[in-house]
Structure 1
Amino acid sequence: MDQANKDFIMNVMANANDLTLATIRPDGYPQATTVSFAYDGLTLYVGVGKNSQKAQNIRQNNKVSLTINNAYKNWSEIKGLSIGGIAEVVSDPRDIQQAIDCLLARFPEAVEWAETGQKDQVAFLKIRPQVISMLDYTKGFGHTETIKA
């Protein structure tokens, strides 16, 4: 991945607070849900309910798709990412702490939640992108470039 692509990806992630995460339900249908996220490089972190459908889906099938979009006022400003990746519900204490640290750095108001013991009800997801499509309508309507992560 060249530096221009990496810069574009990091800029889109820095300017978005949420993503839409699609997992595969047991019946084979996709389930898309909007969630807040944090990141460390290209690795994404999400907190979800420990027994949520998303967490259960990922435990059964770790392939996910997600989109991250920046706010825009007209189509010529659309910038976003469509990512195919591998997700895991992290269990290693170091990975859990990394997820918490990244999420609290991005959403400091969540520190109150983290201190109440509610974090025991949360599963932290670690998502590693495998393929990234970059949408940049400033280069023309529908302009996309796809790269391997």
Structure 2
Amino acid sequence: MDSSHRQFIADVLAATPDMALATVRPDGYPQTTVVSYVHDDLTLYCCIGLNSQKAHNIRQHDKVSLAITPAYQDWQHIRGLSMAGTAALVDNASETEQVADLMLFRFPQLRGVTGASTAAPWPGLVFVRIKPSVISLLNYELGFGHTELFAVS
């Protein structure tokens, strides 16, 4: 992955506040939920309910997939990312504080959510760290259905 690909990824991540995150349910079926996220380079973070089905799924099976697509005017301008990787619930204080700062910067409205005005961890919520192992870049500006797949080390 060269610098132009990394810039494409950074641009899509900056332009899109939400992603569709798929986890594996106990019955083996995927469960996809739209969540807001932040990122630190290629590591993505989201905030979910501590006792949610998504948190339970991640505790049992760490493999996830996600898709991120900024708004577009027509099919010739579709851009996006699809990633597969591993997810973990953030359980250390320094990373929790770092992610809380990123979330409050990108989503200042979180301060109005119950508990988000206090220091993290926020009551009933947990951060999820997603480390991609593969990233697929989708760029219809280079042709209908144009994708490029990259392994992430």
* Pairwise CA distance, 1:42: 0.8
**What is the number of equivalent residue pairs in this alignment?**
149
Specify the alignment match of 1:11 in structure 2.
11
Q: Taking structure 2 as the reference length, what is the TM-score of the superposition?
A: 0.94
- SS of the counterpart of 1:70? coil
Give per-residue Cα distances to partners, 1:51-94, cap 9 Å, x unaligned.
01111000001010000001012100000000001110011111
Q: Are 1:129 and 2:132 counterparts?
A: yes
The whole-number CA distance in structure 2 between the counterparts of 1:52 and 1:91 is: 16
Per the TM alignment, residue 95 of structure 1 is displaced from its structure 2 partner at its CA by 1.5
RMSD of aligned Cα (Å): 1.3
CA distance in 1, matches of 2:130, 2:62: 9
Aligned equivalents of 2:112 and 2:72: distance in 1?
32
1:100 matched to 2:100: yes
Q: Among the aligned pairs, what percent are the same residue?
A: 48
Higher helix share: 1
Map residues 1-149 of structure 1 onto 2, 5 A cutoff. 1-113=1-113, 114-115=116-117, 119-149=122-152
Question: Are the structure 2 counterparts of residues 104 and 55 from structure 1 closer, same or farther at C-alpha, using a change threshold of 3 Å?
Answer: same
- Tell me if the contact between 1:45 and 1:102 (Cα under 8 Å) persists in the aligned partners: no
**Structure 1 unaligned runs (5+)?**
none
Aligned 8 A contact 1:99 1:126 in 2 = no
CA distance in 2: counterparts of 1:81 and 1:144, whole angstroms? 9
Q: TM-score, normalised by structure 1?
A: 0.96
**Separation of aligned partners in 1, 2:39 and 2:142:** 26
Asked whether the equivalents of residues 82 and 132 of structure 1 are also in contact (C-alpha less than 8 Å), the reply is yes
What is the distance in 1 between the residues matched to 2:61 and 2:99?
21
Runs of 5+ consecutive residues of structure 2 not aligned to the other structure:
none
- Residue-by-residue CA offset, 1:121-142 (whole Å, 9 max, x unaligned): 1011010111000000000000
1:80-119 per-residue CA deviation (whole Å, 9 max, x = no partner) reads: 0000011100111111112111111111121233116891
Mapped partners of 2:106, 2:41: distance in 1 = 13
